[in-house]
Structures are given as structure tokens and as C-alpha cells.
Amino acid sequence: MNLPNLISLARLLSVPLAIWLMTRGVFDWAFWLFVAAGASDAVDGFIAKRFHQKTELGRFLDPFADKALLIGVYVTLGVMGHLPSWLVILVVARDVLLVGCTAIGLLMGQVLRFEPLRISKANTLFQIVLAALMLSSLGYGVADETLIDVICGVVAATTVLSGVAYLHQWAGRTQSVEDIR
């Protein structure tokens, strides 16, 4: 357990607090917690790369913490009626699809290694922008409905495109467990 992994773990542990703040209507604090969690993602990545502290645990913990935060925020905002249900379902379904593909690959004796894709990075960026925009809008009362609608559309499009791209990658790049050893 090194500093980058501790930062990722703290981000993961912030998820229940973010959800609790949102369910209590304290969106301004939820916004700042979300911003701090985003900043911590950049910090742990920088430290891991700069000081050669990349670990196998960090390789899984960092993206898991990121996804847990985004999914937690999206589901909570969706349940509360602040994000369209169809969008929340689409975002969650894409991640469930990726986990399912990984599980199926393992059951078939294959290891799925997702390469980071540009469309996926764009998707994550737009998901973060939408979550931050919604939290700040709810916390501070400043909302541009047209902008929110446009970003919802962009999140939907990039979610579908990245899901299809990952399925394509999965279909062409699985390796047997024996090949890796």
C-alpha cells in the first residue's frame, strides 16, 4: 500500500459520503467533494508515474474508485429525478457490459485487457462534466437547461460508441490464461 493507492482508496471511500450529501440535498458540498475526488485522481496518477509507484493493486483500485464515484453520482441523481433515467441506465449498462465481458472471458480461460480508447476517455470526460454541472447547478442554482440537454446527448453518444468499441476490442484481443503465463 503506497501513497497513490491510499489516495485511490480515499476516493473510493468518499463515494458513500457523496451519495449521502446528495440524498440530504447538500449539493454544494457534494459538488466540492466530487471536484476533490477528481483532483485526487490526477494527483495519484501523477505520483504513481513520477515516483515509479505503479502497483498491480493501483491498476485495479484507481479505475474502480473512479467508476464507483461516477456510477454512484449518476444513479443517485437519476433516482432523485435530476438525470434522465434512460441516460443512467445506458451509463450503468455499458459498465456492466464491460464487467460481464471480462467475467465471460475468465470463465472461458481468457483474460480481457481493455486498452484505454480515446472514445472512452472522451466519454469519461463528458460524464464528469455532466455530473459536475448537475451538482453545481443543484448546489448553486445556476442551470443552463440547453447545455445540460446537449451534454446528456453527448454522454449518451460517447457511451454507446465506447461500449461498441470495447466490444470490438474484446472480440479481437482476448488471450488465454496460459498465453499470459
Domains, the chain: 3-180 (1.20.120.1760)
Which of 31-35, 100-104, 174-178 has the weakest average pLDDT?
174-178
3-state SS, residue 153: helix
Mean predicted confidence (pLDDT) in 43-68: 94
Tell me what pLDDT residue 178 has: 47
Q: What is the mean pLDDT of the chain?
A: 91
3-state SS, residue 81: coil
Tell me what pLDDT residue 181 has: 43
3-state SS, residue 24: coil
Distance of alpha carbon 138 from the chain centroid: 21
Q: From 79, 75, 68, select the one nearest 15 (Cα to Cα).
A: 68
Whether the pTM exceeds 0.75: the reply is yes
3-state SS, residue 144: coil
Mean predicted confidence (pLDDT) in 78-90: 98
Compute and round to an integer the Cα radius of gyration of the chain: 17
